[in-house]
């Protein structure tokens, strides 16, 4: 009986974090090949309660990590374009405004750990929301850390590590991300005015 009870306890611990709803949502959204059915994929996520505007295109399945309330913590606005392999940690709220465009392999991380004693530096779990303003362009492989707000109209250059807030209408690049220039209304990143 002792071995059987121990086996049951271990099995419960191993499957404790299984979330059938998340699995089903991921399977449904992943049935379409990358680049095919971006409106259908968006609709599949909405069917599972995720707040995604119907005009948003999702080119590949989103990768949800950790154990957050995805339906309650993720909102995506109108006219967004989301590329493939985007990772979302919904431990805290992730709010994405209207007209946001993001490249492949963007990562939104809302959870981290307190720094603890030398025996195990990753201490207690803590989380903070991420907010992305309207019209933001997020380049490929950008990672956005907990508590960050990106202002409207900002551009985050490819592979940037965003550790602190980014003001509106600026270009931010690097590791850690830093502002390299301000953008004027109607101006492209290259300095040309839109027609």
Catalytic residue among 78, 113, 178, 192: 113
Cα–Cα dist 113/50, whole Å: 26
Listed in sequence order, the residues at least 6 apart from 7 whose beta carbon sits closer than 8 Å to its beta carbon are none
Burial 106-143 (b: 16+ CB within 10 A, else e): bbbbbbbeeeeeeeeeeeeeebeebbbbbbbbbbeebb
Rounded to 5°, angle at Cα 48 from 162 and 97: 35
Question: Is 178 an annotated catalytic residue?
Answer: no
Go through the chain and tell me how many residues it has: 195
Written in H, E and C, the secondary structure of 3-27 is HHHHHHHHHHHHHCCCCHHHHHHHH
Cα–Cα dist 40/27, whole Å: 13
Q: Containing H/E element for 64? A: strand 63-65
Indicate which residues carry an active-site annotation: 113
């Amino acid at each position: 009986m002792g071995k059987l009870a121990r086996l049951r306890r271990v099995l419960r611990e191993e499957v404790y974090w299984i979330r059938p709803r998340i699995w089903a949502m991921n399977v449904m959204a992943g049935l379409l090949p990358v680049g095919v059915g971006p409106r259908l994929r968006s609709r599949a996520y909405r069917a599972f309660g995720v707040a995604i505007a119907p005009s948003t295109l999702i080119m590949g399945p989103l990768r949800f990590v950790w154990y957050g309330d995805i339906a309650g913590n993720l909102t995506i606005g109108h006219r967004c374009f989301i590329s493939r392999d985007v990772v979302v940690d919904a431990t805290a709220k992730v709010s994405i405004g209207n007209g946001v465009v993001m490249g492949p392999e963007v990562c939104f991380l809302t959870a981290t750990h307190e720094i603890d004693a030398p025996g195990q530096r990753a201490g207690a779990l803590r989380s903070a929301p991420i907010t992305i303003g309207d019209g933001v362009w997020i380049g490929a492989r950008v990672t956005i850390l907990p508590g960050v707000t990106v202002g409207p109209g900002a551009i985050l250059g490819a592979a940037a590590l965003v550790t602190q807030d980014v003001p509106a209408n600026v270009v931010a690049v690097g590791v850690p991300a830093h502002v390299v220039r301000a953008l004027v209304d109607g101006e492209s990143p290259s300095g040309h005015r839109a027609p």
